[in-house]
Copies of this chain bind each other. A is one copy, B any other.
Amino acid sequence: MTTAKAGPARTGTRERFLEGGTRLFRSQGFHATGVKQIAGLCGAPMGSLYHFFPGGKEQIALDGLRRSAGFYDDLMQRVFARYPDIGDAIAKWFSMAAGFLRDSGYADGCPVGTLADGIAATHDGLREAASAVMQSWERRIADRLAELGVTRPEAEELASYTVAAFEGAILLGRVHRSTAAVDRTSRVVAATLRRAVAGQPA
C-alpha cells in the first residue's frame, strides 16, 4: 500500500506543506508561524514535515518563495499577453490582489511582500530570495514597457514604482480591511504607465 502510492503521495504532501506554510506566512508572517502549526494545518505529522523540509520553517519559506515566483511569473506573462494595453494589464493585476484580499477576509497579504517585510532584518537568505522575486517582477514590467516603446531608464524607474505601489496598496488593504486603497492606487498607476507608453512625460 505504501510503496504503490509513495511517489505521488509524497509529492502531494510536500506541496501541501508549501501551500499551508505560504498561507500562514502571508497572513500572520514568518515569526508568528511555527512548524507545528503548518503540520497541523496540513493534517500531517511533524516527522513528515521534517522529512520533506529538513531545514524546517526556513526551508518551507524559501521553497514557498520559489513556488510563488514561478506562479506569479506565469501569471504576469499571461496577463500581459491577454491585455495589450499596459494600463489594463496593471488594473487586472491590482484587481486580482483586491480579490485575494476580499476572499481571505483581508488576512492574506502578498506571499512575497508580507513574508519579506517580516524577515528583512532577521533572515538574510530569505530576504535575498524575496529580493530576487521582486526584481524579477520589476524586470518583467520594465521589459514590457520597453517593448511598448518606453526608454530603458524610464521603464526601470516605472517598474520599481509599480511594484512598490502594488505592495503598499496590498498593505493598506489589509490594514484598512478595505480594497479602496488598492482600487485607487490601481487607477493612478495604470494612468501613469499609459501616459509613459503614449510618450508623455511623467
Contacts and interface: CB of A to CB of B under 8 A. Distances in A.
Interface stretch (A3-11, A37-45, A51-59, A107-115): A107-115
Contacts of A21: none
Interface string A175-202: 1110011101101110110000000011
A176 B114 CA distance: 14
A164 interface: yes
B188 A158 contact: yes
A32 B122 contact: yes
Contacts of A169: 161, 164, 168
A35 to B, nearest CB: 15
Interface of A: 27-29, 31-32, 106-109, 113-114, 116-118, 120-122, 127, 130-131, 134-135, 156-158, 160-161, 163-169, 171-172, 174-177, 180-182, 184-185, 187-189, 191-192, 201-202
14 contacts: A29-B31, A29-B117, A32-B122, A106-B121, A107-B120, A113-B171, A116-B174, A120-B174, A156-B184, A161-B185, A163-B168, A164-B171, A164-B182, A168-B171
Identify the 4 closest CB pairs spanning chains A and B, nearest first.
A168-B168, A164-B168, A31-B32, A167-B168
